[in-house]
Amino acid sequence: MRKRWGEILGCAPLARVADWHSIVGPRAELTPLAYPLFATADVRAVREGADRVLRDARSRGLIVTVARGLHVAVPLDAGPEWRPRVVEVAWLIAVARHGRHPAPPAAPPYLCGITAASLHRAANAARGIVHVTVPRQTRSLELPALRASVVFHQRFERCLGSPWWYSQVPDREDAGPELEDLPGQLCRPLMTSRNQTALDLLHSPARMDVWGETRPIVRRLLLGGDYRAFLAVAKNQRRHSAAERRSYERPWPDAWFTA
């Protein structure tokens, strides 16, 4: 049984990082929402001379600055050349802006599209670009220190369906996208499952600029899976047409789930 979003979001990172109080001092009462990622504004809220505090933390190897005004706490056992994984930073930025538990029916931020496909090893990662889905429109962000940019895609979840889908497709426990967690050093980002990633790419290949690559990527994502489970994921979300588009492809859909 797949974990619910709340259970996934409760998972801890794999590595211990510098404590927030070791960076800003003991007077700080609240740790930033997306820590180990935090903003210069978070430091200014609890300390005078934020620039001096950040310079000191960098010189002690406690933080890495990934973009203007954005910093990441360094794992305690990391070397001097350590840099955070860009997909983890991108997800933490989304969490900082939209929260870990947005108001229902919105889903929490998650890695999506070609980024998720590459993490499932079904596609080559788009060089220097990470795609993240969030509940509200958000401008893209450059991360110069990581030579990457984060592209945010808005998706406000709602339940849509038809009598045919409700009668023919197996039930799922909850509506919305099917997500799973990705183990990481700084956090455990949410990402779309193989079935969900395939549905999203079929739904809007232009959004990820993969027009000519959609079919082979989807085939690799679905290989060895269960076709009825694929249909079940499309239930109660705006992916019915995408699932049916796969059904009308040739060879017949069952052939896409076998070698």
Domain boundaries, the chain: 5-11+84-243, 20-73
**Assigned fold of 5-11+84-243:** Beta Polymerase; domain 2 (3.30.460)
Q: Which of 238, 150, 221, 155 is nearest to 189 (CA)?
A: 150
Helices (H), ranges, the chain: 5-9, 20-24, 40-44, 50-59, 86-98, 113-119, 163-168, 194-203, 214-222, 227-234, 240-247
Report d(CA 227, CA 229) in Å as an integer. Answer: 5
CA 207 from chain centre, in angstroms, equals 16
- The residues that bridge with 59 in the sheet, in sequence order, are none
Q: Are 144 and 125 in contact (CB under 8 A)?
A: no
pLDDT tens-digit profile, the chain (259 residues)? 344 444 455 445 556 888 898 899 887 778 999 999 999 999 999 989 999 999 999 999 999 999 999 999 999 988 889 999 999 999 999 999 999 887 766 789 999 999 999 999 999 877 789 999 999 899 999 999 999 999 999 987 655 555 555 565 656 656 688 999 999 999 999 999 999 999 999 888 877 777 778 888 998 999 888 888 888 888 777 787 888 877 665 444 444 555 4
Alpha carbon distances (Å) from 8 to 11, 100, 110, 114, 213: 6, 10, 12, 22, 31
- The residues that bridge with 151 in the sheet, in sequence order, are 131
Q: Are 252 and 222 in contact (CB under 8 A)?
A: no
Task: Give me the sign of the Cα torsion angle 35, 36, 41, 47.
Answer: positive
Q: Are 188 and 13 in contact (CB under 8 A)?
A: yes
